[in-house]
Amino acid sequence: MDAARQLSTLVNGGRSPAPHSSFFASISPTAGFHTKSFVSIQHRSPTVPQNHCLYVLYILPSAVFVDPYELEQRRRDGYLPSFKVLGETNLELPLEAVDEGGSALLLTLHPEFPINTIEVPLHMRYMPPVNGEVSLVHIRVSWPNVFWGSYEGE
């Protein structure tokens, strides 16, 4: 099962552009096993579409994962909104032992969520051994998708 594609299909049905919002995303540091993604959201209008909230969708390659236990602790502490993780969540598996489809993280920012900048810890899986002189592996991580969607029935 390609988890990222399944979650993307699930949310794209109720997806609409965010004309009165803009966002900026960054990753820091850009090297290492423990990095963070930052998403800053600015609303140009104080009104939110009725029965809608802002979603942030990360589609992660199989070499990158989020720790659902860490995310849950951050949610309980008030630093993250509610979320869903789909895909491989076994934190100990090396890259060659996980599904190539990757995983997905969907953050649900209800209008009352007080934080405009969200910090998402990202982790790298252990890579297979590399022969020769190569000691650096480049991994492409797509920017998150930010969009308005209905939250009725969640």
Each residue's pLDDT tens digit, 95-154: 888 888 889 999 998 877 887 889 999 998 887 777 766 667 778 888 999 888 887 654
Residue 70 lies in a domain: yes
Decide: 148 and 50 in contact? Cβ < 8 Å: no
Residue 97 lies in a domain: yes
Residue 73 lies in a domain: yes
Summarize pLDDT for 4-36 with one digit per residue, the tens.
Answer: 454 555 444 444 455 566 788 888 876 666 789
- The reply to whether omega before 49 is within 30° of 0 (cis) is no
82-86 sheet: strands from edge to edge: 82-86, 103-109, 52-60, 145-150
pLDDT of residue 13: 47
| pLDDT over 50 (residue 1) | no
Residue 18 lies in a domain: no
Decide: 94 and 12 in contact? Cβ < 8 Å: no
Give the contacts of 146 (CB within 8 A, at least 6 positions apart): 18, 21, 23, 39, 41, 54, 55, 56, 57
The mean per-residue pLDDT over the stretch 81-85 comes to: 95
Residue 103 lies in a domain: yes
Instruction: Report residue 74 as tokens.
Output: 């951050």
- pTM, entire model: 0.80
Residue 34 lies in a domain: no
Q: Are strands 103-109 and 82-86 parallel, antiparallel or unpaired?
A: antiparallel
Question: How many structural domains compose the chain?
Answer: 1
The torsion region of residue 78 among left (phi > 0), alpha (psi -120 to 50) and beta comes to left
Residue 26 lies in a domain: no
Decide: 59 and 8 in contact? Cβ < 8 Å: yes
Domain membership of residue 117 as a residue range: 1-13+53-126+137-148
pLDDT of residue 137: 73
Residue 1 lies in a domain: yes
